Amino acid sequence: MLRSFVVVHSRRPALHPLAALLLAAALHPQPLEAQAAAPPRVRLVATGGTISNRAGGRLTAQQLLESIPDLQRYVAPEAEQFANTASSALTLEQWLQLSRRLNLLFRSDPGLAGLVVTSGTDTLEELAYFLDLTVRDARPVVVVGSMRNASALGYEGAANLLEAFRVAAEPASRGKGTLVVLNDEINAAREVTKTDALRLHTFQSRGVGVLGVVDADRVIYYRDVVRRRGADSEFDVDAIAALPRVDVLLVYQGASGDLIRAAVDAGAKGIVIAVAGAGATSGTQDEGLEYALKKGCVVVMSTRTGGGRVAAGRRQAGAAAPPPFSRLLAAEDLAPLKSRVLLMLALATTQDPAAIQRMFLEY
């Protein structure tokens, strides 16, 4: 028996090509990695320094942004002016204010990929380490400067800034704390130091080397940071009203202990003594140290050599050491300038020598 089938064709109006594409995209969404991602947002917080210097005045944060070629290829940049002065002119109160500002930016803006901070190079390593200890977020803070001013032939500021922005936007930079970027190199804030008064390659991490480099094609890391820093730090700047006075005094042949006594009498709560070798003093400095310890001043020994470490407990092991020397603390391999930064924060948090020694072992 034959059966007949009737096929009914329904006619719908044809979709406009653009509407068809939109409908297809909605019905069959592409994976996130296939979609064009917006460039990461990175904010510049400018404090001044040689990188902002030029004949007739200083470059503002916005002018610094405008000087960077091809920046929008890598990031969506933002800028704000915190200060515009030499790094050595920034006060400790401004350090606290800057750290509070950076912490606030991270807390209030989850979409921010990282921060770039300009600084004069003379005290850049100190500011960078302070931020490393006090900006408590996994996202990177990148401190950058230049050795030549914007009016000088061969000004490298724009190149350093571009690299700093790229490092701040790089996902692999997360969790490494505060970084210092100059001259195509990435160094950890704790380890880096200025090694030359004039040359472009001045910032180096003696003994351990660079963390990574910034090349034309990508940012490359070779190693990681192992000390406590950034998001793991216990130092809360919102709870610190002011940083206590800590002085750095140098050991040299025939040095007098009077300078140590003077620092204590002038109100120093802590002293970093830059010792010879792994713990040697000279002249009458031991008498000055004994005076300081009996007055309740916290004394930390850090080597002046630029490398190696001062081990905890070294001085009290000697049979001739006076009893107060059992309270001398050791900086481990932390340089004198950075030992001062850590000791200021430690003393703003606790007066317990054992707790402070623990901090020098961990940070």
Where is average pLDDT lowest: 82-91, 290-299, 322-331?
Answer: 322-331
Query: 293 — alpha (psi -120 to 50), left (phi > 0) or beta?
Result: alpha
pLDDT reading at 26 higher than 90: no
pLDDT reading at 238 higher than 70: yes
* 107 token code pair: 């807390």
Residue-wise pLDDT tens digits, 247-289: 999 999 999 999 999 999 999 999 999 999 999 999 999 999 9
Strand 212-214 and strand 53-54: pairing? Answer: unpaired
Contact 133, 342 (CB under 8 A): yes
Q: What is the pLDDT of residue 51?
A: 98
Domain boundaries, the chain: 41-232, 244-362
**β partners of residue 178:** 141
**Active site positions, annotated:** 50
The rounded distance, in Å, linking the Cα atoms of 284 and 262 is 13
* 119 token code pair: 């600084």
Average pLDDT of the chain?
Answer: 91
pLDDT reading at 322 higher than 70: no
The rounded distance, in Å, linking the Cα atoms of 238 and 12 is 66
Which CATH number applies to 244-362? 3.40.50.40
Q: What is the pLDDT of residue 15?
A: 52
* 13 token code pair: 């109006």
Q: What is the pLDDT of residue 312?
A: 86
How sure is the predictor about 8, in pLDDT bands with cuts at 50, 70 and 90? very low
Residue-wise pLDDT tens digits, 88-114: 999 999 999 999 999 999 999 999 999
The rounded distance, in Å, linking the Cα atoms of 96 and 127 is 10
pLDDT reading at 67 higher than 70: yes
Task: Write out the H or E segment, with its range, that includes residue 259.
Answer: helix 258-265
Q: What is the pLDDT of residue 358?
A: 97
Torsions phi, psi of 212, nearest 5?
-175, -170
Residue-wise pLDDT tens digits, 162-205: 999 999 999 999 999 999 999 999 999 999 999 999 999 999 99
Fold equal for 41-232 and 244-362: yes
Q: What is the pLDDT of residue 19?
A: 53
pTM of the model: 0.88
User: DSSP string of 295-344?
Assistant: TT-EEEEEESSSSS-BPTTTGGGSTTS-GGGGG-EE-BT--HHHHHHHHH
What 3-state class would DSSP assign to 200?
Answer: coil
CB atoms within 10 A of CB 120: 22
**β partners of residue 142:** 116, 179
The candidate with the shortest Cα–Cα distance to 189, out of 106, 131, 103, is 131
Matching CATH number, 41-232, of 3.40.50.1170, 3.30.70.270, 3.40.50.150, 3.40.50.1970: 3.40.50.1170
Q: What is the pLDDT of residue 351?
A: 95
What 3-state class would DSSP assign to 235?
Answer: coil
